[in-house]
Structure 1
Amino acid sequence: MQAGYAAGLLFLCPLGDLLPRRPFVCGLVFFTATMWLGLCITTNLSVFTAISFITAVTTVTPQLMLPLVGDLAPPNRRAAALSIVVSGLMLGVLVARVLSGTMTNFVTWRAVYWMALGLQYLIFALLWCFMPDYPATNPGMNYFRILWDIVKMLFRHPVLVQACLAGLFCSAPFTSFWTTLTFLLAGEPYHYSSLTIGLFGLIGIAGMLGSPVYARLVTDRFVPHFTVLFGLSCSLIGVCMGTYLGSFTVAGPVLQALLLDFGNQTAQIANRSAIYSIEPKRRNGVNTAFMVSTFCGQLIGTAAGNHIYAAAGWIGSGSASVGFIGAALLTIIARGPWEERWVGWRGGWSMAKKNKDSADGKTSEKTHFENGRIRDEEKAIGAEGKVLAEVAAEPGNESPLGADDEEKSSRDSKDEIRPAKI
């Protein structure tokens, strides 16, 4: 399933820049739910594996929603809006882990899959009823050109490469911790049951719920660089406490779960807020580059955590996580918030936004959508009014546009999209 999800991130998510969002998202959710039915009823391992891969490819709809939030939210409130969606996404992962672990103690694993099937069809129904039809941002672009542009963006935007590397390094400790935590709590000195270990995931919910508040009060007021440094520092403190106290007291892993989840999420939200400013009409491509690197970090964290734990125990795997977070901090420190080149701190050390209405503190942006329309459509309305006026002025067309029509055309062409307050 991990290979399928990686394929979906790389080959399906960029289509969000090419296709209208509503039919694309609804189609993916319906297809995934329908294919999921095969997982509920099949008894053949090969069929189960094949369907798992296919559903993993199409289970990327949350990654299509995040760039849409970046389009809809005002730039100076983008971090708060993104934090709400990311908190919901991460909360779903934690709750699913706890719920599935609890259910399998009382019912078969198929009951978990049947429940997931019902939830997916419920999501499809809600999207069909309430999701507006947002137009495509790049309707004439070629699919292969979109994929190639992702590669070119990595050579064109230093902030994107910085965010991708930081995302890779800070996501590895997250998956390493949650993978090896089971081994720690099941062995000496705790000997917790699988049900108790599953409930441990609820601790991370506090960190998830605190992230939107922090984003609203802090992230949107300073440059993203400040929040990334703060989030990584929280993660580093949490990993150190959990690593070197976890073998003696359960308070260590508890504090690590709280600080690591909070720090990782706030850093990722700040990075997204920064990179969504670089290519306003290619946010799905930008998000693809960021998420592929983040997903690679998750795979590295899972594999490294298991191997290092088997060789050096809890302290060994935790020390590796400290190294990953240290690498992420070095990546962020190597390039300042106002630096336009690849390395350095040109422009100063200030963490206050120079442009209060922007997401990154310096880039002026415009919101693309409101109620399913693009700002370019407003320009088209104004151009249409000019054409009608020219036609009415030609000989033989004695009836010019009425005053009401002229007033309406002028008003339509001058109206500005006002993004909703977050």
Structure 2
Amino acid sequence: MAIACALSVGNMYFVQPLLGNIAVSLGVSSEAVSYLPMWTQAGTALGMFSFVPLGDIFPRRGLIVTMCLSISVSAIMMALAPNLQTASVAAFATGLTAIVPHLILPFAAKLTTEQDRGQVLGNIMSGLLAGVLLARVFSGLVGEALGWRAVYWLAAGLMALLAAWVRRGLPVDMPEGKLGYWEMLRSIVHLTRTQPVLRAAAVTGGLTFGAFCSFWATLIFLLSTPPYHYGARMAGLFGLVGVAGAAVAPLAGKITDRRGPSTAIAVTIGFTVLGWLVFLVAGHWLAGLVVGVILLDLGVQGCHVANQTRIYPLAPEARSRLNTVYMMTYFIGGAIGSAAGAFAWNRYGWPGVCAVGLSQGVAAFAFRGARQSK
């Protein structure tokens, strides 16, 4: 399950180190191409609302196979894109279909006991975050060596192979819910209205992920300016620095199991804010960027694991719908963070990006504190 999460989610993040290459290839400005990550995140938010609830109606294995094949088609569309408009549609389609991890996570929660759930989800999240980070390494290296289109041709082939592997490797499950699709969508609204813990988790998750996306959507532009003058390869290699966040996911799950999610969430949001403070003060030094990336990834990943651990027990028969509310808000936050980061970079440079990231981290901490005090 962790491997399937890693391979599928990586398709959402291939574009980030390649933005400069895509701009040159398509003959557009860096400002125009900087919004491609936003389209991917927006597509994922819609996919979360439209497709993930189907996991409570149909066997999840078949849905996962279908989405893997759909990602393959989206990657081919991106590889063939002749202009920015087509690339934007392909980016949106990639996000729309790259929801495989959010079908797998409720599936894993169903197969584990409450005592082990945090650790198991942490292990799967390690695979997911490793996919996010290593996708950047892969796309940066391949993009500089073979061109950015080669990244998507390779991705299309990998996703077709993954679909066949998932069909053979995952067990068949029976859906837990008995609602129809439209009733399911209405019940999502009901869950949102009646579950304050779900609302708090969704908003804090969306804000921290927005802070995460503000950084990664603009890193390639920072690295292309003085004093760095780096390209896609170096931007991709920064993914290796963030592997520390993947390594800490099981630990975050254990802390959540033992100390409760509130403590874990407070600490991890603190790491997120601290990471952005490091970016602000020392972002024009390579060592400062490295330290900031580690702190940011530790914070966002740990908060995500703690949030998911606390929402799944709220309504066991509706885990896919709970995940829909949480992850839809999560990726709306990512889309807003990507767009806000791109806007801030184009208008105010790196200090503006840091202001955007810090504001999202502080807002997440404030919302979590207000919710806890009630």
Greater Rg over alpha carbons, structure: 1
Distance 1:241 1:38 in 2: 38
Q: What's the CA shift for 1:19?
A: 0.8
Counterpart in the other structure of 1:219? 256
Distance 2:286 2:299 in 1: 20
Which of the numbers 122, 128, 144 marks the counterpart of 2:167?
Answer: 128
Distance 2:210 2:79 in 1: 31
Q: Is 1:185 aligned to 2:212, yes or no?
A: no
Checking the alignment, whether the CA contact within 8 Å between 1:162 and 1:331 is kept in structure 2 is yes
Counterpart in the other structure of 1:165? 203
Q: Is 1:107 aligned to 2:143, yes or no?
A: no
**CA shift in 2, pair 1:309/1:39, >3 Å:** closer
Checking the alignment, whether the CA contact within 8 Å between 2:143 and 2:149 is kept in structure 1 is no
Q: Is 1:240 aligned to 2:277, yes or no?
A: yes
**CA shift in 2, pair 1:44/1:175, >3 Å:** closer
Deviations, residues 372-400 of structure 1 (Å, cap 9, x unaligned): xxxxxxxxxxxxxxxxxxxxxxxxxxxxx
**CA shift in 2, pair 1:193/1:291, >3 Å:** same
How do 1:21-60 and structure 2 match up within 5 A? 21-34=60-73, 36-37=75-76, 39-40=78-79, 53-60=92-99
DSSP 3-state at the match of 1:294? helix
Checking the alignment, whether the CA contact within 8 Å between 2:43 and 2:95 is kept in structure 1 is yes
Counterpart in the other structure of 1:331? 367
Counterpart in the other structure of 1:61? 100
Counterpart in the other structure of 1:294? 330
Q: Is 1:175 aligned to 2:213, yes or no?
A: yes
TM-score by structure 2 length? 0.83
**CA shift in 2, pair 1:225/1:99, >3 Å:** same
> Larger % of helix: which?
2
Counterpart in the other structure of 2:234? 196
Distance 1:233 1:322 in 2: 11
Q: What's the CA shift for 1:185?
A: 2.1
Q: What's the CA shift for 1:184?
A: 2.2
Counterpart in the other structure of 2:22? none
Counterpart in the other structure of 1:206? 244
**CA shift in 2, pair 1:190/1:50, >3 Å:** closer
**CA shift in 2, pair 1:35/1:270, >3 Å:** closer
Counterpart in the other structure of 2:45? 6
**CA shift in 2, pair 1:142/1:193, >3 Å:** closer
Counterpart in the other structure of 1:230? 267
Checking the alignment, whether the CA contact within 8 Å between 1:42 and 1:48 is kept in structure 2 is yes
Q: What's the CA shift for 1:299?
A: 1.2
Counterpart in the other structure of 2:181? 143
Checking the alignment, whether the CA contact within 8 Å between 2:129 and 2:245 is kept in structure 1 is no
**CA shift in 2, pair 1:332/1:44, >3 Å:** closer
Deviations, residues 151-192 of structure 1 (Å, cap 9, x unaligned): 111111110111111012111110111122222222122222
Aligned residue identity for 1:323: S
Counterpart in the other structure of 2:339? 303
Deviations, residues 309-353 of structure 1 (Å, cap 9, x unaligned): 2333222321232221111111111133xxxxxx52xxxxxxxxx
Counterpart in the other structure of 2:310? 274
**CA shift in 2, pair 1:38/1:180, >3 Å:** closer
Distance 1:51 1:246 in 2: 32
Which of the numbers 346, 352, 355 marks the counterpart of 1:316?
Answer: 352
Distance 1:142 1:288 in 2: 16
Checking the alignment, whether the CA contact within 8 Å between 1:172 and 1:298 is kept in structure 2 is yes
Checking the alignment, whether the CA contact within 8 Å between 1:242 and 1:254 is kept in structure 2 is no
Q: What's the CA shift for 1:50?
A: 5.3
**CA shift in 2, pair 1:29/1:191, >3 Å:** closer
Distance 1:55 1:162 in 2: 28
DSSP 3-state at the match of 2:259? coil
TM-score by structure 1 length? 0.74
Distance 2:249 2:289 in 1: 20
Q: What's the CA shift for 1:122?
A: 1.8
Higher RCO structure, 1 or 2 (CA under 8 Å, sep 6+): 2
Structure 1 gaps, min length 5: 337-342, 345-422
DSSP 3-state at the match of 1:191? coil
After the TM superposition, which of the residue ranges 75-84 and 153-162 deviates more from structure 2?
Answer: 75-84
DSSP 3-state at the match of 1:211? helix
**CA shift in 2, pair 1:35/1:199, >3 Å:** closer
Q: Is 1:15 aligned to 2:54, yes or no?
A: yes
Distance 1:49 1:320 in 2: 24
Q: What's the CA shift for 1:54?
A: 4.2
Checking the alignment, whether the CA contact within 8 Å between 1:13 and 1:284 is kept in structure 2 is yes
Distance 2:96 2:221 in 1: 30
Counterpart in the other structure of 2:27? none
Structure 2 gaps, min length 5: 1-38
DSSP 3-state at the match of 1:105? helix
> Aligned pairs, how many?
335
Q: What's the CA shift for 1:279?
A: 0.9
Distance 1:49 1:212 in 2: 35
Distance 1:108 1:185 in 2: 19
**CA shift in 2, pair 1:47/1:284, >3 Å:** same
After the TM superposition, which of the residue ranges 178-187 and 146-155 deviates more from structure 2?
Answer: 178-187
